Amino acid sequence: METMVKNDLTQLMQQRDAGPFIAIYLNTAAVLNDLNRRRLQLKQLVNEAETQMAHHFPQTDFAPFNAQLNQIMTDNAFWLKHTGPQTGIITNGQDLHIFDLQYPTDNQVIVNSMPAIRPILADRQHQFDFDLLALNEDTISMYEQRGGYFVELEMPADAPTTLTGALGTEKRGGDLNFNSSPVHGANYHGHNAKAEERTIDQQNYYQQVAQYVQAHSQKSQRPLILMGLPHNQAVFRAINKNPYLSQHLMIDKSPKNLTLAEMQTATEPVQTKWHTQLADILLERYDQAKSQQLAADDPFDMIRPALNGQIDTLIVAADAQVAGSLPVTDVGMTEPIAAPDNLIDDLVDVVMARNGQIRIIPTDRMPTETAALAIMRY
């Protein structure tokens, strides 16, 4: 086995052109003495993968894939480590990627030129793990929700956690001093005491914050929720270019002096809204984009925008299947090449690789007879 990587979509996306890929999703939540049944299930899926490979990619040698998957099958340590509800196994015959999923679905195998990751995205979407940026006028802090646990992130020394730390004591037009009041917050005075200069300092600070947080989001690939007073949020959103920042989920409340438990309680309404209103939120966004001619509902019309990094959000029906493939290098090409693939899975991979958002909704919630909807950046 060349390489085994756990739960890292970023690395998998970097290898997406090194296919074809076999993706196996196997329910693994079982009593430990039931290993033989799970091995048998995996063997059946590997046999199905060989059949699909021969049909879709007849020139590809199945032997390296088979060697990797058979090594897993006989590895007791592997089965003892992966006892959660479902395990995703994705390989291109060289590198093996393992994903521990929290919600079981039907066992399935998918052979595609790019890795089929929709079950992973659907699992993460269901969990609604997210990052939280707590925004004050002159300070920030960050939190993350992962698997039901809410924790504050320890930020490195060079992170822009405070305005003075990020901008220094020399501000626009001269020195800026401030003292902190528990009632009124930071009070500024000196050469830059004018309101417009204070606003400029806040904008300059938020510019650094936005850059730092965007780099964090690109690594975590989780939705980013903003918490802060409405004015501070408005200033930040005017600067922000982070595609992971939610436009519909936010907490209009000052995070100043809140405990960790109080912060977590404040997130409960947005979590409820996410689970109960996700499809409504997405379709509302799509309707707005359509009215601005920034939307598409034909997957074949999404090929060029996807390759050019133009798609902000790709809304996918849960069971979407469209025969077709994406060209790897020719972004001027608008027609799919030879079509052994599911075009939807290819679009998902390319949009993700270009920092777009993927959202999966029930098929019966799609407003038109289509497998996907795209919201464009421009």
In a domain, 287, yes or no: no
Same domain, yes or no, for 18 and 154?
A: no
CA dihedral 100, 102, 105, 107 (to 10 degrees): 20
- The answer to whether the beta carbons of residues 24 and 45 sit under 8 Å apart is yes
Same domain, yes or no, for 65 and 134?
A: no
Residue 39, Cβ neighbours under 10 Å: how many?
16
- Least confident interval from 1-10, 345-354, 355-364: 1-10
Same domain, yes or no, for 121 and 139?
A: no
- Least confident interval from 89-103, 156-170, 292-306: 156-170
In a domain, 148, yes or no: yes
Q: What is the CATH number of the domain that holds 176?
A: 3.30.420.60
Calculate mean pLDDT across residues 60-79.
Answer: 90
CA dihedral 296, 301, 303, 306 (to 10 degrees): -20
Whole-angstrom Cα distance, residue 51 to residue 58? 10
Calculate mean pLDDT across residues 347-373.
Answer: 89
Domain boundary among 241, 274, 307: 274
Per-residue model confidence (pLDDT) at position 33: 58
Same domain, yes or no, for 109 and 155?
A: no
Same domain, yes or no, for 263 and 319?
A: no
Burial of 192 (0-12, 13-18, 19+ CB in 10 A): buried
Whole-angstrom Cα distance, residue 242 to residue 13? 19
Per-residue model confidence (pLDDT) at position 173: 45
Calculate mean pLDDT across residues 228-235.
Answer: 96
Split at pLDDT 50, 70, 90, the class of 336 is: very low
Residue with token string 């995703």: 88
In a domain, 279, yes or no: no
Q: How many structural domains comprise the chain?
A: 3
Residue with token string 């079509």: 339
Taking only the tens place, the pLDDT of each residue in 119-162 is 999 888 887 889 999 999 999 999 999 877 899 999 999 999 99
Same domain, yes or no, for 141 and 234?
A: yes
Given a cut of 60, whether residue 331 has pLDDT beyond it is no
In a domain, 235, yes or no: yes
Same domain, yes or no, for 253 and 155?
A: yes
- The answer to whether the beta carbons of residues 133 and 57 sit under 8 Å apart is no
Same domain, yes or no, for 117 and 134?
A: no
- Least confident interval from 140-154, 167-181, 293-307, 354-368: 167-181
Domain boundary among 126, 144, 164: 126
Calculate mean pLDDT across residues 6-31.
Answer: 83
Task: Supply 226's token pair.
Answer: 């903003």
In a domain, 149, yes or no: yes
In a domain, 136, yes or no: yes
Same domain, yes or no, for 21 and 121?
A: yes
Same domain, yes or no, for 139 and 231?
A: yes
Given a cut of 70, whether residue 279 has pLDDT beyond it is yes
In a domain, 157, yes or no: yes
Instruction: Tell me what percent of the residues of the chain surpass a pLDDT of 70.
Output: 87
Split at pLDDT 50, 70, 90, the class of 177 is: very low
Single-letter amino acid code for the residue at 5: V
Whole-angstrom Cα distance, residue 87 to residue 26? 5
Closest CA to 350 of 116, 113, 15, 13: 13
Same domain, yes or no, for 134 and 258?
A: yes
Q: What is the CATH number of the domain that holds 327?
A: 3.30.1330.30
Predicted TM-score of the model (pTM): 0.67
Split at pLDDT 50, 70, 90, the class of 31 is: very low
Task: Supply 83's token pair.
Answer: 């006892």
Calculate mean pLDDT across residues 301-311.
Answer: 94
In a domain, 177, yes or no: yes
Domain boundary among 126, 151, 184: 126
Domain span including residue 52: 3-126
Per-residue model confidence (pLDDT) at position 271: 86
Given a cut of 90, whether residue 48 has pLDDT beyond it is yes
- The answer to whether the beta carbons of residues 105 and 6 sit under 8 Å apart is no
Split at pLDDT 50, 70, 90, the class of 316 is: very high
Same domain, yes or no, for 266 and 137?
A: yes
Per-residue model confidence (pLDDT) at position 190: 45
Whole-angstrom Cα distance, residue 349 to residue 351? 6
Residue with token string 């609604």: 128
Split at pLDDT 50, 70, 90, the class of 30 is: low
